[in-house]
Amino acid sequence: MDDLLREFLTESAEHLDTVDTELVRFEQDPNNKTILSNIFRLVHTIKGTCGFLGLPRLEALAHAAETLMGQFRDGMPVTGAAVSLILVTLDRLKSILGDLEKTGSEPTGSDDDLIGALEQMASGPIGQAAAAAPPAAEYVLPPPVQRELKPGEVTLEDLERAFLEAEGPEDMAMAPAAADEPAPEPEPAPVAVMPAPAPKAEAPASGGDGEGGVSKVQTIRVNVDTLEHLMTMVSELVLTRNQLLEIARRHDDSTYKVPLQRLSHVTAELQEGVMKTRMQPIGNAWQKLPRVVRDLSSELGKQIELVMNGAETELDRQVLEVIKDPLTHMVRNSADHGIESAADRKASGKPLKGTIRLSAYHEGGTITIEIADDGKGLDLAAIRKKAVERNVASQAEIDRMTDAQVAKFIFHPGFSTAKAVTSVSGRGVGMDVVKTNIDVIGGVIDINTQLGRGTTFTIKIPLTLAIIAALIVKAGEQRFAVPQVAVLELVRVDKATAQTVERINGSPVLRLRERLLPIVTLTGVLGQEQPTDTIDSGFVVVAQVGRQRFGILVDEVFHTEEIVVKPMSSKLRHLPLFAGNTILGDGAVVLIVDPNGIAQQVSQGSQSGGVPMEAEVEEVVATDPKATLLVFRGGAGSFKAVPLSLVTRLEEIEASKIEWVGGRPLIQYRGRLMPLVPADASIEIRSEGSQALVVFSDGERAMGLVVDEIVDIVEERLDVEISAERSDLIGSAVLRGRATEIINIAHFLPLAYDDWTRGAGKVQKPTSTLLLVDDSAFFRDMLSPVLKAAGYIVLTAGSAEEALTMMITNSRIDLVVSDLEMPGRSGFDLVAAMRKAEGRVAALPVVGLTGTIGPEAIERARGLGIADLVAKFDRSGLIQALSEIEAAPLANAA
């Protein structure tokens, strides 16, 4: 009896879960007879078994629910309220089952409330809809719900069996017939539709219990421990086989070879077979989700649809257990935070119903699970802000991070950006647990989010944890196994070949297809000493963990082997660098390196300034100062370039429109006269055809630079290599492999307007001395002529240190213009140092130049008493700012 009860408990729990799911489907598709009859059958089975086992409370409840569902089948409209009621009933059933499991007997208590509600629901509407109520109540099971059920019960059981054993096709024909006539002959209806779902997956299981359909049994229940034991044994067998193969490799005795090969073959198949028994469809982990989403959507007042693809995708049950809860949590999260309310969705022009899409598919040795919602996406700005508030990262770090990196902060413990804590989520627990669980099984999780468009979480997890493919490598004196999943490729490095390890401040890096790959030596991360010269030869195992890519330098690479992962001893489990250990074919124990652990080490190194971490490509680009330059041809076919940011417009004019006034070329341009200046003395201004112009403007004045041809716009690192002695050129640089002259625009401006140097119609001021601080010689050269033209005596400094020295020694400096983004000591640091200095230097007015003016920069600048912030290429803005500073003391004096 005990066994029977246990069997019943397991099975009923499964059935109830299925009913949960099916009911939600049914609510959306009330005309689907198949779903309904499936539900009906399952509830009926539970009820029948309860009666058999003498569990009156469960039986009465199940019966009441069944009656209501019978009404659905007979044409009663399916309402949300009715479905909710049945769902509540199912929950009650589950809790009774739970108690039953704990105590072995049904708990005392009354379900009259639910039964009453169910009966009322069952009888109410049908009375109005049709006169079907009385016959409906005369099912094989009469309405006296309580204990007299048994005789009727048996009858139905018998009937059901009779139908199950009868041929199928007619039943299908009968089902619609029953539907056509709502009630007059209710008796055949329940039985008629019942066999229909019989071919479904659950059928053999239910057929197996007490119905005598032994021949139909295709599945048996096996204790999990038995399977686990079998798995362990097979693992051992695999190891033994590997050892035998290793021995056979060393001996030339061919008599062993054939049986050994067979053994090897059989072992492989056995292993596969046993692995299969551990495999379960991921749908098992999803079973509860439709119900969860349905409950949430009514609780939160949102309309949410859950779409599931690939539920049949199989994975190891051990893995399944681990991801079950995280998945549920993430779906809840998507429903709560991701999907907006119907009103918000309408406002942003989306369909009212939000969709959560859950999909799973195999990809190599891993399974990929995606949870996508079409909700509002992550508010990255809020996350950035929060990360700084919580001191998770500094502002500077945050600024440099890409969106994908920022999104990952949601996995930080205690990180919730939900404005209000709801009962569903927003308490800041959960996402970190999700991440931890996934990490534990060697999975990775990625986030792709678009504000207003939704968020997609992608989880990649290994199919199984028991046996993995691993690369056997040697580092120092020892061999290690590196899980193949993390390995992207192998690169041989050698001093003699093209692939060599280079160093930045002692940190090894490798150039790999135009990218720098940070390298760690395996012996290094394992804390072993090594002669430094060995670092330059060996193999680099290029590994990827999440989005981090790095190389692990090892001395030798042997082969790939299927290894059985054995857990680390409890004494060694705290070591993050090892995922476990295994016994190789030759009997040796090797440690399995955990790429996640190494990745952590690598990035820790980078925090302390050791190894540069190549986390994101964009980042690398961002730190590389590049200039956008306009390249044109001017004078004897030579290439010239000018920073694009200085250019106002590019024009192609008709040469015939060029007028000559007083020996100077001019054109009418936008209602004004614009002087033209050839970019090079050798350029002849055309008299026919079209003429290319580069227009520069400053306030109301504009100048056209006459060029032969506009070639290109390039974005490149600018190294002015040769500085020219001519005042019209700043120097030469290599752009796109061509030697190009960078022109000095300040040289041309006075050629266009004689008075340009004096500023637009302003009275010449007493000359002030200005110190221009910028690390880039290019910008110094670019700006000083402009500043000179504006009437300042310009001194330049290339670094904060140099600038400070100059300020202290040169008392004539009245003004400082400083780039704020310099390597080493930034402009902010410089100003901070100035403000701490004595007397005159501390009071010097400063104008800051910056590439981007953000609110933080403004805040900081204000704190340091920086008079004004000007964008780096905004020359007129700079002149304006300077003249305001000049004006201020005068105003004060007056």
Partner 1 sequence: MMQAANTNKPETDAGATNDFVTVFVGETMFGLAIDRVHDVFIPAGVTPVPLAPPEIVGLLNLRGRVVTALCLRRRLGLPARVGDGKQMAIGLEQGGETFALVVDGVGEVLKLGASTHEPVPINLDARWRDLALGVHRLDGRLLVILDVDSLLAFGAPRHVAGAA
Binding stretches for partner 1 (CB under 8 A): 236, 239-240, 478, 526-528, 566, 569-578, 581-583, 587-591, 600
Both tokens assigned to 302? 């949102």
Note the helical H segments in 29-79: 33-53, 56-73
8 A C-beta contact, residue 142 and residue 63? no
Q: Which secondary structure element, helix H or strand E, spans residue 353, and what is its range?
A: none
Given a contact cutoff of 8 angstroms between Cβ atoms, the answer to whether 457 and 330 are in contact is: yes
695 touches 647 (CB < 8 A) = yes
Q: What tokens does 429 get?
A: 């627990």
Least Å distance between CB 582 and partner 1?
8
Residue 527 Cβ vs partner 1, minimum distance, rounded to whole Å = 5
CA distance 822 to 799: 8
Rounded to whole angstroms, the Cα distance separating 358 from 323 reads: 14
| Smaller CB separation from partner 1, 568 or 650 | 568
Is the CB of 198 or the CB of 583 nearer to partner 1?
A: 583
Strand, helix or coil for residue 584 = coil
Residue with smaller CB distance to partner 1, 38 or 581: 581
CB of 600 to partner 1, least distance (A): 7
Our CB check for partner 1 shows the closer of 97 and 564 to be 564
The residue among 155 and 528 lying less far from partner 1, judged by its C-beta, is: 528
Read out DSSP for 671-737? TEEEEEEESSTTPPPPSSSEEEEEEEEETTEEEEEEESEEEEEEEE-----EE-SSTTEEEEEEETT
Q: What does the DSSP assignment read for 360-396?
A: EEEETTEEEEEEEE-S----HHHHHHHHHHTTSS-HH
Please report how close the Cβ of residue 508 comes to partner 1 at its closest, in angstroms. Answer: 19
Sign of CA dihedral 118, 119, 123, 124: negative
Max Cα separation, the chain?
Answer: 120
Q: Residue 179, CB half-sphere, CA atoms under 13 Å: how many?
A: 15
Pick between residue 83 and residue 598 the one whose CB is nearest to partner 1: 598
Give the nearest distance from C-beta 236 to partner 1 in angstroms.
6
For tokens 């005309």, name the residue.
31
Q: How far is the CB of 413 from partner 1 (least distance, A)?
A: 12
Instruction: Report the relative pairing of strands 846-850 and 768-773 from DSSP bridges.
Output: unpaired
Distance, in Å, from the CA atom of 785 to the CA atom of 229, rounded to the nearest integer, reads 83
Min dist CB 427 to partner 1, Å, is: 23
The owner of tokens 């500094």 is 394
- 126 or 590: CB nearest partner 1: 590
Which residue lies nearer to partner 1 by CB, 288 or 474? Answer: 474
Task: Give me the least distance between CB of 95 and partner 1, in Å please.
Answer: 35
For 810, other C-beta atoms within 10 Å of its C-beta total: 11
Rg (CA), the chain: 39
In the bound state with partner 1, the residue whose beta carbon lies nearer, of 9 and 270, is: 270
CB of 141 to partner 1, least distance (A): 52
Cα gap 396→376, rounded to integer Å: 27
Nearest to partner 1 of 273, 413 (CB atom): 413
Closer Cβ to partner 1, 81 or 572, answer by number: 572
Residue with smaller CB distance to partner 1, 606 or 818: 606
Tokens for 276, please give them. Answer: 């299969």
Instruction: Give the number of other Cβ atoms within 10 Å of residue 362's Cβ.
Output: 13
Q: How far is the CB of 432 from partner 1 (least distance, A)?
A: 13
Dihedral sign of CA atoms 78, 81, 86, 90 in order: positive
Q: How far is the CB of 577 from partner 1 (least distance, A)?
A: 7
Q: In this structure, are residues 396 and 420 in contact, taking their beta carbons and an 8 Å threshold? A: no
Label each residue of 504-570 as H, E or C: ECCEEEEEECCEEEEEEEHHHHCCCCCCHHHHHCEEEEEEEECCEEEEEEECEEEEEEEEECECCCC
Whole-number Å distance between alpha carbons of 665 and 678: 10
Judged by beta carbon, residue 587 or residue 854, the one nearer partner 1 is 587
CA terminus-to-terminus distance, the chain: 106
Residue for token pair 């918000």: 344
Q: How far apart are CB 614 and partner 1 at their closest, in Å?
A: 22
Nearer to partner 1, 194 or 593 (CB): 593
Min dist CB 407 to partner 1, Å, is: 23
Question: Is 237 or 279 the residue whose CB approaches partner 1 more closely?
Answer: 237
* Three-state SS sequence of 735-770: ECCEEEEEECHHHHHHHHCCCHHHCCCCCCCCCEEE
Count CA atoms within 13 Å of residue 825 on its CB side: 15
184 vs 609, beta carbon nearer partner 1 = 609
In this complex, which beta carbon is closest to partner 1, that of residue 239 or of residue 878? 239
Helix, strand, coil percentages for the chain (3-state, nearest 5):
45, 25, 30
Instruction: Pick the closest to residue 660 from 687, 688, 635, 634 (CA basis).
Output: 687
Give CA–CA dist 394/400, Å, rounded.
10
Least distance CB 522 / partner 1 (angstroms):
9
Task: Give least dist CB 233 to partner 1, A.
Answer: 11
Nearest to 707 by CA among 731, 730, 740: 740
Residue 592 or 846: the one with the smaller Cβ distance to partner 1 is: 592
The least CB distance from residue 398 to partner 1, in Å, is 22
Q: Cβ 601 to partner 1, closest distance in Å?
A: 9
Least Cβ distance, residue 244 to partner 1 (angstroms): 13
